[in-house]
Structure 1
Amino acid sequence: MTDVASAASTSSGKKQHLGWALVLISVAQLMVVLDGTIVNIALPFIQTDLDIAPENLTWVVTGYALAFGSLLLLGGRLGDLYGRRKIFMIGLVIFAVASLLGGLANSEGTLLAARALQGLGAALASPAALALIATTFPAGPARNRAFAVYAAMSGVGAAVGLLLGGWLTGLSPEILGTTVEGWRLTLLINTPIGIVAALLAPRFLNESESHPGELDLPGAVTGTLGLLGLVYGISRAGEDGWTDTWTLASLAAGVALLATFLLVESRVEHPLLPTRVFANRTRAASFVAMFFAPAAMFAMFFYLSQYIQTVMGYSSIEAGVAFLPFCIGLVIAAGISSNLINRIDPRILAGVGTLMASIALVGFSRIPSDTTLPVQDLTASYWTDLFPYILLMAFGMGATFVPLTLTAVHHLRAEDSGIGSGVLNTMQQVGGALGLSLLATIATQTMDDLTASLEKAVAAAGVPVDPAAMTVAGHQVFAAGASDAFLFGAGLMLVASLVTWIFLNVKHQELATDGPEGAPVHIG
């Protein structure tokens, strides 16, 4: 980060320290991203402490994801209209206060409301953070390195959340010397970080030009509700199936509202989502690729974390440590990519990265399983069956996220940086939710079919059911289902790779210049 730290820019006569600005933005982004997974490991403790019904427990995670995903476009546009630093600070304060409320919650309703409020704060802060990088750092090595750090924070957030969540949850009140349960720390830890980051923002971040009075309210309402319906329907499909009545109703309502949103946007003077954001082919390709890539990466975190704990018998903290190589590898890969992007076209860098990630997912799909009688207890070896592919996935994602993040916001008009960042974040969230639901559908179908086959085989054999053998069989069935999910994830990553190779034609020299606002990216 030395290149960034040594750089400085002036705005309104104030010297700006880009190194500290990047630290501030990156810490905020890491906090927002890891909060999507940090409570996952704490769910059993939260359920016991607050007496939450099993069918409502998933809302602790889903509530945050719904608010975050559905409000990102609005959050991005608000930054463009009312000042990105101001919206960034407001988002951080809301996030911090919501975290405090959640950490102190003594009822299910309070906790779920706090998680939704956290999602609102994240939806305001995250697109503003990316837009601040795009408009604060000069084009070239400094901006590339800044985007590399941002991409690394976004990529490692889920893994850090698992590790930190496992550690904090395991801290008992006796160890802490207080009456605070460990799970509450997974939320309370955000409060001081968010408040300090918000207080430091005016010192290290310059404010952008504001355009008050241009907020597209009809677009904000239809776009937000449309995304809410879409994300909820997709998330519900992963649990209740694609034929569930509420799933279909939510998806239909979401699609109808988004169609209305597009109609509104084509007729208003100051649209929430200007069509010019999608006019550039390279930018549109970046959005599409960033829709499929996170969807595939979710397969690794979701199913591999369960496999490591359920089948391999790792504790929650050991499972978090098992993902440390991913965190370290992604940070290293992002740093390498930020240097290579100065000499190699983003199409090649991201294309190779997506291919590496798809190979890693194919590697994960080869975890051993046996679903024929008598079922054998086959378990993967971490160092030979998982570790090499975790590293390959890390380097693949590092080579993918950095160039695609750069090309997604490059050559946007200054007044569109926030909404462009919002679109990119929305693509990642919606793509991740859709990918996870599709993966869950495929894995569940495989598990149901194999379970039915095993039950028939056991009945036909007429042998007594050994509980220990059935536990082993359950582990092997899960491994088989996870394998299919990994393969499907590899297919999604290949789609992202194809889009990158075919449509991402901007040259690396182009990324070193800003050019005129709204200028088209040179294709050649």
Structure 2
Amino acid sequence: MPLWQTILVITSCSFAMLTTTASNSAVSIALPTMEDDLEIPQAALDWVVAANPLSNGCLLLLFGRLADLYGRKKVFLLGSFWLVAFTLGCSFAQDALTLDILRGFQGLGSAATIPASLGILAHTFPPGKARAIAFATFAAGAPLGGGTGIVFGGLLTQLTPQSWRSPFYLVSGLTVLSMITAMISFNPDHPSTEEDQRVDWIGAFLVTTGLVLIVFVLGQGEVAPKQWSTPYIIALLIVGVIFVLLFLIWQYHLERVQNTTDSNPYPIFYVVSLSLFALHHLPTPPPIMKMTLWTRARGRVAVVFCIACLNWCCFQGWNYWAILYYQNYVGYSPLRTTVRMVPMFVTGLLCNGFVALFVDHIPMTILVAAGTALTGCSALLFAVIDPNAVYWAFGFPSAIIAVIGADFVFACGTMYVAKKCSPHEQSVGGAVFQTMTQLGTALGVTVSTVVFDRVLESRAADNGIDVSDIGSSGPRWLTLPAYKAAMWSCFAFGMCACLLTVIFLRVGIIGHRVRPSRSPTLTEEVEGQKTVTNSARQSAEKGQIER
């Protein structure tokens, strides 16, 4: 592949990640302006942010399977076109409901482009330095997109006449650029090597429904009328878990059917399954996600998935509460908050460059353990923060080290999963990894929010103050222990990820170390010449004897 094509392939895939994160971060920074312009109630603001990640995270597996089956380039281009259309549509929304629906449809485009991008990179670049650079650059799209969305989103929202609509124009333009470079640089899709090319629509329905319900409950549990004791929250959570369990059983069944010619190889399993679902009457296409994917490399692939989930619980929880601390407790404007988060994006770019250079020299366990520990320590700095101290004492070092774990885990984790996946399931492997990070985001923010609310309620009750008055007419200093408690929960997630890495993730160097060729010395050349001469003399003598 020519150098210009290599650069464009990596750029196109990285821009897919960049536009996804930029869209979400730009919306987050523009929320107060949207609230005033569209007259969105405070309780409904969550859906403006959550609609996109909800549809994105729950459809990654389906689009990953479609990309592996029908062509990654096709899925990438269709997803990019879809993303452009609905991102522009968001800029024309005139009410909150329309904006929520368009944001949900916008997430479908990202759900198509991200797994296709991971599959394209894994298929295009064999193990080696080029693959390390490609995956590290793709991972760098996340911090770069977050920085682009916050910085340019804040500037465009505050300085342009279109206000909060301008960031959507920016994201649309970046997506069009990614789509054009993909058309030019991506190689044509090759037909799938699988004999059975049917799509597991039953599994797609089960996993999508289950994840939608679970993520919805995680996002709405604290804002429901009776919080987690609200009847519909409990019911939807149970139904969501049941759907996910049914999906896992169904995938197990399909994989066993595909891998054996025996009609009843596992009697106990089939007795239970047939009594519940009558599986023998349903179609048996290849599974959308092989259950053996989690058991590969003696279960290390499953450990990588769990580490990614826990690390994102810590990182996204820290990001969420750090922004709220600066704006709601300290009272900074969005632009002043952005300035204090900029070191995180600079560190993110440097970390991905470090991974590209040293992934074939440093074991993966060391990189992931160090990264998760540092991300956990970033939450620890906010958990013990002194509001009267200067920014350089707590805020700056926390922003510097917060993103290290996310970058190390994403770059190394996606490379490791790609290494353990077959050529026809690269996009599915990347989709599972990305799904775990999305679940980690929802879980981390939810758990830390529960901790925040309970500590705040306790402090308010001790001081005889109504919780609703805190931050407005009541004393704002009561919220500081709640912010610290939320950060302690994020720190716990980070340390769990670090311990999981140290104990169970025994993985060496995942890059492709190329041993340099050594020129023969003068002595070796002379000895080689002697050997050749002796062999020729012996052959000649043998020929004379035979004659």
TM-score w.r.t. length of structure 1: 0.86
Q: Deviations over 1:74-118 (max 9, x none)?
A: 111111111111111111111110011110112333212210111
Cα contact 2:300–2:504 (8 A) shared by 1 = yes
**Alignment partner, residue 34 of structure 1:** 22
Q: Distance in 2 between matches of 1:473 and 1:339?
A: 52
* Alignment correspondent of 1:302: 320
2:339 and 2:70 mapped to 1: Cα distance? Answer: 41
- Look up the match of 1:269: 285
Residue 395 of structure 2 is aligned to residue 409 of structure 1: no
Amino acid at match of 1:300: W
Distance in 2 separating the partners of 1:23 and 1:143: 13
In structure 2, the residue matched to 1:221 is 205
Is 2:401 aligned against 1:420?
no
Query: Partners of 1:44 and 1:210 in 2: how far apart?
Result: 48
In the alignment, residue 505 of structure 2 is paired with which amino acid?
A: L
Report the AA paired with residue 444 of structure 2: G
Taking the TM superposition and a 5 Å limit, the aligned residue runs for 1:161-180 are: 161-173=149-161
The answer to whether residue 295 in structure 2 is matched with residue 279 in structure 1 is yes
Distance 1:229 1:388 in 2: 37
Q: Match for residue 316 of structure 1? A: 334
Inter-partner Cα distance in structure 2 for 1:206 and 1:27: 18
Mark the CA change 1:315 to 1:107 in structure 2 (over 3 Å): closer, same or farther: same
Kindly report which structure 2 residues correspond to 1:128-207, keeping only aligned pairs within 5 A, or say none.
128-173=116-161, 181-207=162-188
Instruction: Assess if the C-alpha contact under 8 Å between 2:60 and 2:112 holds in 1.
Output: yes
- Secondary structure at the counterpart of residue 488 of structure 2: helix
Counterpart-to-counterpart distance in 1, 2:397 and 2:93: 41
Aligned equivalents of 2:390, 2:128: Cα separation in 1: 43
Asked if the contact 1:18–1:137 (Cα under 8 Å) also holds between the matched residues in 2, the reply is no
Contact 2:22 2:171 in 1 (8 A): no
Tell me, yes or no, if structure 1 residue 489 matches structure 2 residue 473.
Answer: no
For the 8 Å contact 1:85–1:128, the answer to whether it is kept is yes
Contact kept? 1:367, 1:479, Cα under 8 Å: no
Distance of 2:347 and 2:4 partners within structure 1: 31
Name the amino acid aligned to 2:312: P
- Residues 344-402 of structure 1 show CA distances to partners (whole Å, capped at 9, x for unaligned) of 1101111111112212211111123xxxxxxxxx4442121210121122334433332
Q: Is the 8 A contact 1:442 1:481 kept in 2?
A: yes
Q: 1:235 aligns with which of 182, 201, 219?
A: 219
CA displacement 1:230-262 (0-9 Å, x = unmatched): 111111124333322222222111111112212
**In structure 2, which of residues 51, 60, 73 is the aligned counterpart of residue 63 of structure 1?**
51
> Tell me, what secondary structure is at the counterpart of 1:383?
coil
SS in 2 for 1:490: helix
Tell me which residue corresponds to 1:520: none
Partner of 1:371: none
State which of 97, 104, 111 in structure 1 corresponds to 2:85. Answer: 97
* Letter matched to residue 109 of structure 2: G
Structure-2 separation of matches of 1:292 and 1:470: 31
Q: Secondary structure at the match of 2:385?
A: coil
Cα separation, 2, equivalents of 1:513 and 1:134: 17
Instruction: Report the counterpart of residue 117 of structure 1 in structure 2.
Output: 105
CA distance in 2 between counterparts of 1:513 and 1:83 reads 31
- Distance in 1, matches of 2:16 and 2:439, equals 21
State the partner residue of 1:245.
231
Shift of 1:323: 0.8
The residue aligned with 1:352 is 370
Distance 2:405 2:337 in 1: 21
* Structure 2 residue aligned with 1:395: 404
1:139/1:513 contact within 8 Å kept: no
Larger Rg belongs to: 2
Q: Distance in 1 between matches of 2:236 and 2:218?
A: 9
One-letter code aligned to 1:250? L
Question: Residue type matched to 1:333 in 2?
Answer: C
Q: Aligned to 1:255, which of 226, 230, 241?
A: 241
Corresponding position of 2:269: none
Q: How much does 1:27 deviate? A: 1.3
Which of 443, 453, 458 is equivalent to 2:452?
443
Task: State whether residues 248 and 291 of structure 2, in contact with CA within 8 Å, keep that contact through their aligned partners in structure 1.
Answer: no
- 2:9 pairs with 15, 21, 33, which one? 21
Residue 449 (structure 1) shift? 0.8
- Indicate the percent of aligned positions where both proteins have the same amino acid: 27
SS at the partner of 1:144? helix
| 8 Å Cα contact 1:40/1:165 also seen in 2 | no
Q: Taking structure 2 as the reference length, what is the TM-score of the superposition?
A: 0.82
SS across alignment from 1:239: coil
- Per-residue deviation at 1:502? 2.2
Q: What is the match of residue 3 of structure 1?
A: none
Identify the residue that residue 522 of structure 1 maps to in structure 2. Answer: none
Measure the CA separation in 2 of the matches of 1:85 and 1:101.
Answer: 24
Cα deviation for residue 437 of structure 1 reads 0.2
Segment drifting more, 42-51 vs 319-328: 42-51
| Letter matched to residue 228 of structure 2 | W
Distance 1:470 1:43, change over 3 A: closer
Contact between 1:169 and 1:185, CA under 8 Å: does it hold in 2?
yes
- Cα separation, 1, equivalents of 2:341 and 2:246: 42
Match runs of 1:369-388 below 5 Å: 378-388=387-397
Q: Distance in 2 between matches of 1:254 and 1:164?
A: 38
Does the CA-based 8 Å contact 2:91-2:166 persist in structure 1?
yes
Q: Offset of 1:423 from its aligned partner?
A: 0.4
Report the counterpart of residue 512 of structure 2 in structure 1.
512
Q: 8 Å contact 1:234–1:247 — kept in the other structure?
A: no
The match for 2:311 among 293, 296, 314 is 293
How far, CA to CA, are the matches of 1:474 and 1:256 in structure 2? Answer: 44
Cα distance in 2 for partners of 1:382, 1:453 equals 31
Q: 2:95 maps to which residue?
A: 107
Residue of structure 1 aligned with 2:190, choices 202, 209, 221: 209
Q: Are 1:88 and 2:76 matched, yes or no?
A: yes
1:74 to 20, 43, 62: 62
- Unmatched tracts of structure 1, length 5 or more: 1-7, 10-14, 174-180, 369-377, 459-466, 515-524
